[in-house]
Structure 1
Amino acid sequence: MGIHVVRFEDNGTKWGVLEEGRVYPVEGSYLTLADFLKDGVSVAKEINKENIEGLDANQVTFLSPVTAPTQIVCQGANYSAHREEAGLQGQRPPFNLIFTKAASSITGPNNDILSPTHVKLLDYEIEVGIIIKQEILQPITVTPDNLAEYVAGFVITNDVSARDTQFTEGQWYKGKSFRTFCPVGPVLYLIDKDEAHYIHNLELSLSVNGEIRQAAHTEQLLFKPEETLTELSGLMSFYPGDLVLTGTPGGVALKLSPEDLDLLMNPFVKLDQKVEKLNESQASNTNYLKEGDLITCEVRSSDGRIDLGKQQNKVRFV
């Protein structure tokens, strides 16, 4: 069985194993996730919990288990329900939509999301993140049988998005990369070699102020992680600790008709026309995030074997 790993603050930054509500510190200093994957995993697996009291998880300040430097590579519109609410056709498209976020957007699982005041259409996107295990420097073929050779484990992520920047300027990178726009954690579940199949058996849930907005299952992913890694290995390199977001399900605040989307994606339409159309189409939409909103994200396997914890972030405009 794999292990639930956390990174936390306790008179310095430390790594630990989370089990039954207690955190068991891992001996050694690991500055980055890449360092921990290289030298800390074996130490973590050898912890004798019978001889260590551990720390109360409720008294620990959890940090993002993903650390800079890292690459954040994202899959877009990868669930049918989300495609439809964004004005797209629901079936699997002919190509995999890929974009990136800045590593500086990473924040902790309980930190505030700090949005610039000029953002008026702030949205949430729960996603399962997969962590790269080893260098991928050339084209490879990833299959369900060898996925665990390339994937270290899974985390909760929230691809926070400024829709006004994303859809009026056509700037996905800018609209998704403001600092704190990528909460990660609290748990990094490191899979055993026979657990890679769990990527297709995870339940996602996101609520805002206690109201469920997103609920889905990773079996609904249109492009599976193994085929995405195969495709991306043909054009880019990956390194241990890199983060790949697998896409968000339906239930985000954004709602666009196909006609709205066509206008917003047209490069020949002027910016002021796009701003007017987006504002008009979203004028009665009350689901965008507001000052003080509390976002709660949870991901676990259907059988309860894997639990990525609870991520809670409050929204602030600064």
Structure 2
Amino acid sequence: MSRTIIRYAEGGTPRWGVQFGSHIAPLDVDAASTGELLSGHWDLLWSVEPAQAVVPFERVALLSPVTQHQQFICQGVNYRSHIGESGLRVEDFPFNTIFTKAPSCITAADAPVARPAHVQLLDYEIELGLVLRRPVPAGTQVGGDDLPQWLAGVTIVNDLSARDVQLPQGQFYKGKSYRGFGPVGPALVLLTAQEWARWPELHMRLAVNGQTRQDAYCADMIHGPAATLTELAALQDLHPGDLIATGTPAGCAARAPGKLAMFILKHLMSDAAKWRMFIRKGRSNPAYLRPGDRISASIRTDDGAIDLGEQSTSITAP
């Protein structure tokens, strides 16, 4: 059965704990980062008993279960439905699109996020986050049954994105890395080997002001966790506690224009004029996030056996 790991502040001091229902069992550990917790206290995380849960959840301030000491690696265009709504074709993306977000953008699942003054097209992206359990040596080949060996657990990620920076400037890192643009949590849910086999059943839902925007299963993912870990191991070092956000399904505010508009944009307009029109039209799109909006995001299996909790993020003025 899964374990729900919480990072929280009580009296201003960051602490780790295991959540059981509405209470937390505090952990007497000195771990400054998620990596230190997972690499140094793995057995302890699984040995805590429900009777040790004595801290009421409502009494603490929630923190992200992934600390800012970790790498924040992301996959793009990794859901068939999202590729379709972007006006693209799945067959044109046989490769795994990888980019990064600044770890300094990581924030708690219930922390308000200020929309920067120059950003008008702020978008949301619910994503399944994978958290590394141990280092992955260069050249490691990861099979579907090997996930428990390399991954500790899963969490909810909202890959907030300034589309009017990301797309016209061609800068994923810049458009997605403003402070607060990475709500993570509320928990890091450690999975058993049997539960890891159920990752395609995880059901992602995101709503804005109570209106459902994204609703999909992780089975729609093109490049799954095993293939992505294998590719990353050939590319770079991976460390315990590092976070991989695995892409988002359809339902984002940014949408592709119709076929006629696409033809005009491609053949009759300069790049500068094209992006000016994109931003102008986007400003009238009510789906983009504005100060006062509230986002709720959840990921769980339909039977509730694996439940990552729920994010509740409010958008504020700068």
Query: Which bin holds the TM-score, normalised by the shorter protein?
Result: over 0.9
Secondary structure at the counterpart of residue 152 of structure 1: strand
Match of residue 129 from structure 1: 129
| Superposition map of 1:1-318 within 5 A | 1-11=1-11, 12-50=13-51, 52-90=52-90, 93-257=93-257, 269-270=270-271, 272-318=272-318
Secondary structure at the counterpart of residue 194 of structure 1: helix
CA contact (8 A) 1:255 1:282 kept: no
CA contact (8 A) 1:167 1:264 kept: no
RMSD between superposed Cα atoms in Å: 2.1
CA contact (8 A) 1:23 1:56 kept: yes
Find the aligned partners of 1:142 and 1:265 in 2 and give their Cα distance: 40
CA offsets, 1:139-163, max 9 Å, x none?
1111111111111100000000000
Once the two structures are aligned, what percentage of the paired residues are identical? 37
CA contact (8 A) 2:120 2:283 kept: no
Find the aligned partners of 2:142 and 2:28 in 1 and give their Cα distance: 33
Flag structure 1 segments of 5+ consecutive residues without an equivalent.
none
Flag structure 2 segments of 5+ consecutive residues without an equivalent.
none
What TM-score comes out, normalization by structure 2 length?
0.93
What amino acid sits opposite 1:25 in the alignment?
Answer: P
Find the aligned partners of 1:106 and 1:182 in 2 and give their Cα distance: 4
Query: How big is the shift at 1:282?
Result: 2.6
CA contact (8 A) 1:3 1:191 kept: yes
Secondary structure at the counterpart of residue 129 of structure 2: strand
Secondary structure at the counterpart of residue 145 of structure 1: helix
CA contact (8 A) 2:115 2:291 kept: no
Query: How big is the shift at 1:136?
Result: 1.6
CA contact (8 A) 1:6 1:188 kept: yes
What amino acid sits opposite 2:292 in the alignment?
Answer: G
Find the aligned partners of 1:177 and 1:53 in 2 and give their Cα distance: 36
CA offsets, 1:156-189, max 9 Å, x none?
0000000000111111110000011000001111
Query: How big is the shift at 1:48?
Result: 3.0
CA contact (8 A) 1:16 1:24 kept: yes
What TM-score comes out, normalization by structure 1 length?
0.93
Find the aligned partners of 1:117 and 1:203 in 2 and give their Cα distance: 34
Find the aligned partners of 1:283 and 1:13 in 2 and give their Cα distance: 40
* Range 12-21 or range 92-101, more displaced: 92-101
CA offsets, 1:82-101, max 9 Å, x none?
11222212457211111110
Q: How many residues matched? A: 315
CA offsets, 1:179-216, max 9 Å, x none?
11000001111112332212212011111111111111
Q: 1:42 to 1:97 in 2, by over 3 A?
A: same
